[in-house]
Each structure stands twice: as C-alpha cells, then as structure tokens.
Amino acid sequence: MRSLVALALALISTPALADPPRLVEDGVIGLDPRPDHPVLAPPDAALARCTDAEGAAVVWLQVGRSGRVTAAHVHGAGKADACLARALASARASGKLPNAIIVVGHVDVDGQPSPRIATTPIVVDAHGAAWQLTIDRVAYTDNRMLDIGQDLDRVSPALAACASRRGRRAQAVHGSLWYDGHAVVETGNPAYDACLAHALGAIALPTPQSALWADVSIAPPGEPLAPRTTTATSHEQDLRDALTTAVRSRKLHLLGCLDGHAKTTLTHLGVELAGGHANVQAVATGDRDADACVREKFHDVAIPNASSSDHLTLDVTLDPQ
C-alpha cells in the first residue's frame, strides 16, 4: 500500500515535460507565390537539444538553391541562441528550390511569448534620393515599434545616401534585412546592400536580447511596388488607398504624440485631401497638446496620385499596437 501511495505522490509532483523549441516560418523571400506549407523540413531532433532557451527568438535563414542553409541568424533566446543557430543550420529544404531564398520566422519556446510582428509600413524618408526604403513588415524581440521607427528616421540620411549605389538600370525590388547589432541586407545589389548594412549599424538596440528581421521594398519615392494583381480600381479608390497608406505609414510618429500624455489614445484619424495635399480634419486623443502634435506631424502631406481638383475626406483606423 505504501508503495502505491509513494508512486502516486511521485507522479503528482513530477513536472510536465516542456515542449522542445519549434521553428515557425513567417515568410519567404525569393519564392512567388509564397508557399502555403513550410519550406524547410524542421530539424526537430537538433532543436530539442537546445534546452536552455531563455525566450523566443527571431530567425533569418539564407537557403541556397541546393536546399542547404548557408547562413543562420538567431537571436532572442539568450544562451540558447548559438545552439538554435547550429540546429537550424542543419535544416534542409523539403523540396526543390528554383533559386536561393531567405526564410524568416521565429523559434517558439514553451511558456515564452512569441516575438511580435508589425505589418504597418515604415516609409523611410528618401531625402530627395531616387530610391526610397520601406519596411513592409518587421518582427522584433525586446523592443518597441516606436523605437524602431524613430531609429530608422534618425539614420534615414545615411540610408538615403545609399541610393546612388543602385545604378542607372536598377528596378524596384523586394528584399529582406536582419539586425541584431550586426546588419545583413539582401535586395540583390551587393554594393547597395553593404551600404544599407553599414548605415543600419548606427542603430543602438535597447537590450542584449533585442533583434529584428524585416521585409523591405525599394522603389522610387511615392511609388510603392505595384501589388501582384491586374484588377483595375477607380480613381477614388486609388485616392482612398493613398490616404490610408499616408496615415498608416506615419503611425509611429503620430503615436509618439501620446508620449507624456496620460490616458490618451489614437485609434482613428479624420483626414481631408484638397489641392493635392492631405491634412488632419478631425482628431481626438483626449489631450489638446497631443491633438496639436498630431495635426503638426500630419500637415500638408503630398499625395502623388492626386490632382489639385481632387477632394476627399476619410476616416482612417489605426491599430494602437
């Protein structure tokens, strides 16, 4: 009887085994359309050996046409980063690849929150250069989107200065970047990529666990990459889309107006297009000074596809996260 009681107590007191770290693919650069299933055969056995992960990590992997991982960048799991990087370097593509690709994602760790992914574009000031960098999507650990946007704005002159490296025959492209204190950029132009990486190196990350990867677009200022669709839209819808993009691409700067103002929110913004420029028509953050700041930061914004005779008012919803 005593042995049965002891066994029952042992079973009750034994903690449940944690699930091993798991690779989650959040995107692929270099395959179009993007696959609806994982590109890499998960190296589960190798990942299971990384037992001391202190947090979930962001992941940026270069994969050659042969299907082998040629570079693995992992950050955010503390002492386990090196183990996770070695494990992911052993991964292989689950099928044939038409060309080299980049896989971005994160490693899920049992009991740890996943890295955050923001999909609101960050349009980096081109400062009159022929090419403009836009961060289409960014995943990050131990940081705030507001900080990332402000840092990109601070180094924007150096980023814009890289535009001349693209050459006369350059075309608009999608690409990817990684930053954990050391930057790696891949847009298909080595000279331009090296210049961007050097400029990004001036960004100071807030904690040792901070890192990010981003999907990026390189296009002429005011001319974002065309969507992959042939569906025609009306001029009014084009204006609505342009106004919405103009507001949301400046979201981080607008939300910065709330700093230092307790109990303020900015969930939507009324804007008016007239004379080819957009201005705030209505804003209610809950604080007069914050309202004034928002009006100042979104003032006389040029809308490239608008004529002087176009007139439109629009309420744009902003995700506060």
Domain regions of the chain by residue span = 22-114, 117-219, 235-317
**Average of per-residue pLDDT across 292-303:** 91
pLDDT for position 139: 94
CB contact at 8 A, 123 and 249: yes
pTM of the model: 0.67
| Alpha-carbon gap, residue 284 to 125, rounded angstroms | 27
Annotate 162-180 with DSSP letters as a single string: GGGGG-TT---EEEEEEES
* Tens digit of each residue's pLDDT (9 = 90 or more) over 164-174: 999 888 899 99
Largest Cα–Cα distance of the chain, in whole Å? 91
Binned at pLDDT 50, 70 and 90, residue 58 comes out as very high
Q: Average pLDDT for residues 40-52, to the nearest whole number?
A: 91
Q: Given pLDDT bands bounded at 50, 70 and 90, which one contains residue 33?
A: low
- Tens of pLDDT, residue by residue over 189-237, are 999 999 999 999 999 898 899 999 999 999 998 765 544 443 445 778 7
- For residue 42, the model assigns a pLDDT of 82
Query: Residue 57's pLDDT band (boundaries 50, 70, 90)?
Result: very high
Higher pLDDT: 38 or 3? It is 38
Of residues 96 and 1, more confidently modeled: 96
Beta bridge partners of residue 134, listed in sequence order: 123, 217
d(CA 35, CA 27): 9
Tokens for 179, please give them.
């930053």
Residue 111 confidence (pLDDT) above 60: yes
CATH number (1.10.3470, 3.30.2420, 3.30.70, 1.10.730) of 22-114 reads 3.30.2420
With bands split at pLDDT 50, 70 and 90, how would you rate the model's confidence at 14?
very low
What is the arithmetic mean of pLDDT over 37-58?
A: 90
Question: To the nearest whole number, what is the mean pLDDT of the chain?
Answer: 86
Alpha-helical segments (H) within 50-175: 81-89, 145-154, 156-161
* Coil vs helix vs strand at 260: coil
- Cα 224 from Cα 172, distance rounded (Å): 9
Q: Which stretches does DSSP call E strand in 95-249?
A: 101-108, 116-118, 122-123, 132-141, 173-179, 183-186, 211-219
SS3 240: helix
Does residue 6 surpass a pLDDT of 60? no
The CA angle 262-286-270, to the nearest 5 degrees, is: 130
* Cα angle: 281, vertex 219, 178; to 5 degrees: 100
Question: Using one digit for the tens of pLDDT, what is the confidence trace for 142-190?
Answer: 888 778 888 999 999 999 999 999 988 889 999 999 999 999 999 999 9
Q: H or E segment at 282?
A: strand 277-282
Least confident of 30-34, 74-78, 181-185, 259-263: 30-34
User: What does the buried/exposed string (b/e) look like for 261-291 if buried means 16 or more CB atoms within 10 Å of the residue's CB?
Assistant: beebebeebebebeebebebeebebebeebb
pLDDT of residue 4: 52
- Per the structure block, which two tokens stand in for 32? 């179009």
Q: Please give the pLDDT value at position 242.
A: 80
